[in-house]
């Protein structure tokens, strides 16, 4: 059983950009997002996965992820998934022994930028980079599963 423990933040400024890698394009859609969990299809660069997460929208959630053929994932995104799809570029930044992921959204969520960091346990103390701003871990609007039905452009 997988458990994901992560915190989400808005960004204070663009200083993170000089520290980031080149980024990877993501395209993802949800097959279902109601009930006890969500099921999504995600293409990350040239890799595709199906991901199941528990419906709790907080720091700690159950998570399962398995590879699927890229062609099948593309077909499901185009023909089976709930629209709009989530489109973003993910950048990686190493800071104080932690891997930070900065998601720059496009499409219906253009203008939204969120940083995430995974933790080993819910009480883990981390040093926040100076470019990290307000924490939004507990604000469900910032979860990808919620951005499908309430995209950033409509806020």
Domain residue ranges of the chain, discontinuous segments joined by +: 2-154
pTM over the 0.85 mark? yes
pLDDT in tens, 11-49: 999 999 999 999 999 999 999 867 788 899 999 999 999
Q: Is 2 exposed, middle or buried (0-12, 13-18, 19+ CB in 10 A)?
A: exposed
At the top level of CATH, the class of 2-154 is: mainly beta
Rounded Cα–Cα distance for residues 10 and 62 (Å): 23
Rounded Cα–Cα distance for residues 13 and 27 (Å): 25
pLDDT in tens, 4-16: 899 999 999 999 9
Active site residues: 30
- Confidence class for position 60, pLDDT limits 50, 70, 90: confident
């Amino acid at each position: 059983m997988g458990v994901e423990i992560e915190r989400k933040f808005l960004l204070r400024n663009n200083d993170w950009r000089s520290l980031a890698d080149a980024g990877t394009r993501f395209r993802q859609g949800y097959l279902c997002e109601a009930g006890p969990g969500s099921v999504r299809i995600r293409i990350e660069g040239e890799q595709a996965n199906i991901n199941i997460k528990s419906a709790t929208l907080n720091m700690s959630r159950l998570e399962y992820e398995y590879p699927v053929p890229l062609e099948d994932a593309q077909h499901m995104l185009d023909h089976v998934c709930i629209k709009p799809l989530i489109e973003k570029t993910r950048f990686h930044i190493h800071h104080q022994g932690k891997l930070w992921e900065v998601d720059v959204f496009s499409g219906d969520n253009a203008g939204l930028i969120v940083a995430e960091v995974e933790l080993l346990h819910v009480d883990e103390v981390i040093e926040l980079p100076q470019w990290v701003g307000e924490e939004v871990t507990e604000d469900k609007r910032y979860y990808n599963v919620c951005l499908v039905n309430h995209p950033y452009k409509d806020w």
